[in-house]
Amino acid sequence: MRAASLRERSAELGRAAIGAPPVRSLRAELQRGTVGIIAEIKRASPSRGQINSNLRAADQAVAYERGGALAISVLTEPTRFGGSNADIEAARSAADIPVLKKDFHVEPVQLLEARALGCSAALVIVRAVAPPALAELIHTGKQIGLELLVEVRDENELDLALSAGAEIIGVNNRNLESLVVDLAGMDRVLPLIPRSCIAVAESGIGTRADIERAGSHGADAVLIGSVLSGSATPEQTLRSLTAVKRETRARQG
Give residue 20's pLDDT. Answer: 96
Share of the chain above pLDDT 70, in %: 100
Give per-residue pLDDT as tens, 150-170.
999 999 999 999 999 999 999
Contact assessment for residue 105 and residue 122, using Cβ atoms and an 8 Å cutoff: yes
Give per-residue pLDDT as tens, 102-131.
999 999 999 999 999 999 999 999 999 999
Give the active site residues. Answer: 40, 42, 102, 151, 172, 202-203
176 has a pLDDT exceeding 80: no
User: Stretch 172-181: mean pLDDT, rounded?
Assistant: 83
Q: Are strands 36-41 and 198-202 parallel, antiparallel or unpaired?
A: unpaired
d(CA 209, CA 228): 16
Give residue 178's pLDDT. Answer: 79
Under DSSP, the state recorded for 34 is B
pLDDT band at residue 3 under the 50/70/90 scheme: confident
Contact assessment for residue 115 and residue 92, using Cβ atoms and an 8 Å cutoff: no
Give residue 186's pLDDT. Answer: 96
pLDDT greater at residue 218 or residue 251: 218
**Degrees, nearest 5: CA angle 236-91-83:** 100
Give residues with Cβ within 8 angstroms of 79, minimum separation 6.
none
| Mean pLDDT, rounded, of the chain | 95
User: Stretch 136-160: mean pLDDT, rounded?
Assistant: 98
Contact assessment for residue 161 and residue 172, using Cβ atoms and an 8 Å cutoff: no
User: Stretch 165-183: mean pLDDT, rounded?
Assistant: 89
Give residue 55's pLDDT. Answer: 93
Give residues with Cβ within 8 angstroms of 66, minimum separation 6.
235
Give residue 253's pLDDT. Answer: 72
User: Stretch 133-145: mean pLDDT, rounded?
Assistant: 98
89 has a pLDDT exceeding 90: yes
pLDDT band at residue 73 under the 50/70/90 scheme: very high
> In the chain, what are the domains?
26-239 (3.20.20.70)
Least confident among 3-17, 41-55, 136-150: 41-55
pLDDT greater at residue 3 or residue 78: 78
183 has a pLDDT exceeding 80: yes
User: Stretch 209-220: mean pLDDT, rounded?
Assistant: 98
35 has a pLDDT exceeding 90: yes
